[in-house]
Structures are given as structure tokens and as C-alpha cells.
Amino acid sequence: MYFSLFQHPLTEEEIHAFSEVASKEQIKKELDELVKDKVLFKINDFYLFEDDKSQVNRRLSGNQMAKDIQEKANNVSKLISKFPYVEGVGISGSLSKGYYDEEGDIDFFIITSPKRLWIARTFLILYKKVFLLNSKKYFCVNYFISTNSLEIDEKNRFTATELTTMIPMYGNGSFHSFYEQNKWVNSFLPNKTVAEGLSKINPIKKPISTRTVEGVLNTKIGDWLDSFFLKITYKKWKIKFEKLEEKHFNIALKSTKDISKHHPLNFQRKVIKRLNKKYDELKEKHNIHLEKEHA
């Protein structure tokens, strides 16, 4: 049901991976019953809530496009890893789930050194604005955390799904610490393992120019500059998104010394809201009760 929000049908294997049920046999049995009762439909190897083959075709096409764009994503990940104070680079969003289309972009999750998050972020944003003409198509850097704050505050099905599907690309131990501090995802997705991704992380190798910049900024100048970039960015966002309620602003555009999120549409909240609405529809149509999610 969660993936149906994105018109992304799942295979039996994937349904088991994203479920809380240990037994694959039980999953198979219940899927057969749901198909028999026409709660679900099965098209080829995919299960979905609508008898709509176009969703299957869309997914297969998106899977192929994801494979085609992966080399580009790999190259951009490597580039980001060379920037000052970047300690980890991961691919998130739809591409991390093996899907990509012409309307999509490549989302990156970035771990930075402590007390230098806003310097790292500013360098990357300036690169995007100057050299990519502010295009985020292949360079969407909208979520940063520092090694001082690796535990994700918002613990729900959305964030659990994003964490377990993320593809760690570059890092020198930061992602191992990240997943160690976010073991709460097991309460949502106990069958989803991240071990395979951790074993394939590329080491970060900083060029001399980056090490030189870091050497200059590993001083009180760097302390001041990081605080300055945080202050002006926060002020800019408060003005630009003044209509956003404070409680939603603090989640969608969280701006602290150790966290920077730029999700002005508050996609997380919208997904959870839509999912709860589908739960209500399921209860009304099939008398199946599911516990509501929280954002």
C-alpha cells in the first residue's frame, strides 16, 4: 500500500522484504487470499491495488532507466565526496529504489564533519549554482547531517523506508556509524538488511586542494564561517517560506548546526497523510483495519 502511492507495484520477494512477517510462506498464502478476494491484483510477477498493467510497464521502464543513469549517479557521488568536509555520500529517493524517469532527479544524502556542515553545504550549493546553472537534475543535495547527529529524529515508515533503501556510495566509516545509530528502523522493517550496501562503499580520497582548504578552515575562521552560513541560510528560508507553519518548517527545513534539510513541500508529511487516507479507504471497502502512521 505504501508503494502504491508512487504507482510502484512490488514482487512477492519485495513485499516480504518490506513487511514485518518472517515467513515467506505466510506472505505467499496471504497474497493469494488477497488476490482471490480482489483486494490485490497480480500482473506478471507484480502485485498492485489496481488492475492496471500500465503501472507494471511504467515500473519496468523506470527500472531500465535507473540502470542507464547509474553510472552518472556514481560519477556525481564521487565528485561530491571530494568536497571539503564531506564524510559520506549516499543515493536516496526513487533511484535508490531502482527507479528513474525523465521527470526525476538524483537525490543525495550527505554526511559531513562536525561543526562544518554549513561550509560543506555552501560549497556544494555554490558549485550547483555556478557550474550547473542551478540545475538539480543530477545534483539534488537537499539533506545533510553531521557525524555529531547521526540518529534521525523523525521515526516513521517513510524515513525507515528511505534509510533502508539508501545506497551508500562513499565514506570512511560514517555510514557504519549512521546505521548503528538508527537501528530503530528494525521495528518498521525487520526483514530489510543494509549489510550488502555497507560492504560496497568506496573509500573517500580527498585531493590536495580539498585538504588545503580544510587546513585553512580548521581554525576559528572556519567556526565563524560555518555559523555565518547557517545564520544567513536560515534567515533566507524563514523569509522565503514564511507561510509554512512553524512546526512544519522545523521538520521540512530543519536548520541546526548538525542538520540541514531542504524539503519545502514537506513530502514526508504528504506521503504519511496520503497513506492514512488509503488505510481509511481499505477499511471502508474491504473491512481491513490498519494502524495509522505518524509523521
Q: Is 252:264 a contact under the CB 8 Å cutoff? A: yes
Cell output for 222? 572556519
Please check whether residues 19 and 145 belong to one and the same domain: no
What is the pLDDT of the chain when averaged over all its residues?
A: 95
Please check whether residues 150 and 252 belong to one and the same domain: yes
Please check whether residues 24 and 74 belong to one and the same domain: no
Cα 77 to its chain centre, rounded Å, is 15
269 within some domain: no
Please check whether residues 46 and 170 belong to one and the same domain: no
58 within some domain: no
62 within some domain: no
Q: Which of 2, 39, 43, 213 is nearest to 113 (CA)?
A: 213
Q: What is the pLDDT of residue 195?
A: 65
Whole-angstrom Cα distance, residue 71 to residue 102?
A: 16
Please check whether residues 45 and 93 belong to one and the same domain: no
Q: Is 108:96 a contact under the CB 8 Å cutoff? A: no
188 within some domain: yes
Cell output for 249? 518548517
Cα 59 to its chain centre, rounded Å, is 19
271 within some domain: no
Q: DSSP secondary-structure letter at 255? A: B
Please check whether residues 177 and 92 belong to one and the same domain: yes
Residues of the domain holding 165: 70-264
pLDDT digits (tens, 9 = 90+) for 39-74: 999 999 999 999 999 999 999 999 999 999 999 999
Cell output for 1? 500500500
Three-state DSSP at 143 gives strand
Please check whether residues 14 and 119 belong to one and the same domain: no
281 within some domain: no
Please check whether residues 157 and 114 belong to one and the same domain: yes
Please check whether residues 128 and 179 belong to one and the same domain: yes
Q: What is the pLDDT of residue 295?
A: 77
Gyration radius of the chain over CA positions: 21
Please check whether residues 140 and 102 belong to one and the same domain: yes
Q: Is 250:236 a contact under the CB 8 Å cutoff? A: no
Please check whether residues 47 and 124 belong to one and the same domain: no
Cell output for 179? 546505521
Handedness of CA 109, 111, 117, 122 (dihedral sign): negative
Whole-angstrom Cα distance, residue 145 to residue 129?
A: 21
Cell output for 247? 512546526
Q: Which of 185, 81, 91 is nearest to 138 (CA)?
A: 91
Q: Is 274:257 a contact under the CB 8 Å cutoff? A: no
44 within some domain: yes
pTM here is 0.95
191 within some domain: yes
Positions in the chain short of pLDDT 70: 195-196
User: 161 vs 188, 204, 220, CA distance in Å?
Assistant: 8, 26, 39
Cα 181 to its chain centre, rounded Å, is 17
- Provide the domain count of the chain: 2
Q: Is 111:147 a contact under the CB 8 Å cutoff? A: yes
Q: What is the pLDDT of residue 194?
A: 79
Please check whether residues 130 and 93 belong to one and the same domain: yes
